[in-house]
Structure 1
Amino acid sequence: MKDFRFRKADLKDAPGLAHVHVHSWRTTYEGIVSGEYLQSLSIEEREQKWVQILSGSHHTYVCEQDNGEIVGFVSFGKERSGEYEGELYAIYLLEEYQGKGIGKELFGIAAIGLKKQGYNSMWIWVLKDNPSKHFYYTYKPELIKEEVLTLGGESHQEEGLLLKLH
């Protein structure tokens, strides 16, 4: 994929990760999650969280343009509840870079990374109304459960998907 580079994130990437995280939430969940909630998302707060994450052991990879601008990222590791093996924590792309194969590349980085950690499956949480959820279904995961997630005082259905890694 020319004009784009994929690499492990480091501490200096926190501002770019925060920018992608907040802006992709605002475009992806517009009309699904309340506009008030989406506008309340703070790039500064998200940057602080990324500084914490990147200061420790992590598996976060970025996609950047030749000019160094981060346009997407993926983060993964051990599944947090202990019920499953590996987990896709987050995968986000700026809206204008979606549909160009970047998400597929980032997803592949996560799948390979989880396999290298010894995991044979990937757990994924996705909002049921997320217009991009079809992306996950192209990998033929199994729908294991649904739960209610509260965002900005509103309830949203979330799907728990389990993908076998080959």
Structure 2
Amino acid sequence: MVYIREAIISDASGMGKVNVESWQTTYRGLMPETVLRNLSVKDKKEKWENIIRAGNSTTFVAVDEEETIVGYLNMFIKKSTVGEVTAIYLLENWQGKGIGKALLLKCFQRFLEQSIHTIRVEVLAGNDSRLFYERMGAELIEKKGIQIDGNVLDLLVYEWKDIRNVLA
């Protein structure tokens, strides 16, 4: 059983682990191998500590019965009327169990509490997560390039015009 709660500073280590492991499984073949090989749990832990401490975004974690973090989602308000999901990652063996959907719905509820109805998310073109967003009702609105380690990769921007339709 997994439950979702708002992240606290002490979650950063577990989030760093999920960050590195999920990138290494999700982006293999999509990103340069050197980028994936050089990921550091320590660096990601520090990054998430700083993000949580800054308080200008909200992060939810999915934890199992032993309080082990198996996934997370980060969200923030991009403009006064548009929210953005900046990160949603799950350990590979926890994918396909409805946890991503639960994280996303929790995020949507929080956005609604702040009167935000339009949400965007960016995903690499080769990432199968884009299919998840499509199944959840997001529509592709833009394709742009992103530079990672000297390589230009295709980035897709998806949008939910009105998340109230998803939550209905």
- TM norm. shorter chain > 0.5: yes
1:54-133 counterparts in 2 under 5 A? 54-57=52-55, 58-79=57-78, 82=79, 85-133=82-130
Query: Whole-Å Cα distance in 1 between the matches of residues 131 and 35 of structure 2?
Result: 24
- What SS is found at the alignment partner of 1:23? helix
* Aligned-pair CA distance for 1:84: 5.8
Q: Which residue of 2 aligns with 1:145?
A: 142
Q: How does 1:7-86 map to 2 (within 5 A)?
A: 7-57=5-55, 58-79=57-78, 82=79, 85-86=82-83
Q: Secondary structure at the match of 2:120?
A: strand
When structure 1 is superposed on structure 2, of 97-106 and 131-140 the one drifting more is 131-140
Shift of 1:93: 0.1
Mapped partners of 1:124, 1:84: distance in 2: 15
Please list the CA deviations of residues 81-114 of structure 1 after superposition, one character each: whole Å capped at 9, or x if unmatched: x496111111000000000111110011111111
CA distance in 2, matches of 1:83, 1:24: 31
Q: Counterpart amino acid of 2:107? A: A
Aligned length: 162
TM-score, normalised to structure 1, is 0.93
Query: Does the CA contact (< 8 Å) of 1:123 and 1:161 recur in 2?
Result: yes
* Structure 1: stretches of 5+ with no match in the other structure: none
How far 1:132 sits from its partner (Å)? Answer: 2.2
The one-letter code matched in structure 2 to 1:102 is I
Residue by residue, what CA displacement relative to the aligned partner does 1:104-134 show, whole Å, maximum 9, x if unpaired?
A: 1001111111111110110111111102210
Q: Is the 8 A contact 2:139 2:159 kept in 1?
A: yes
Q: Percent identity?
A: 31
Superposition RMSD in Å: 1.3
User: TM-score if structure 2 supplies the norm length?
Assistant: 0.92
Three-state SS of the structure 2 residue aligned to 1:133 is: helix
Unaligned runs of 5+ in 2: none
Contact 1:84 1:123 in 2 (8 A): no
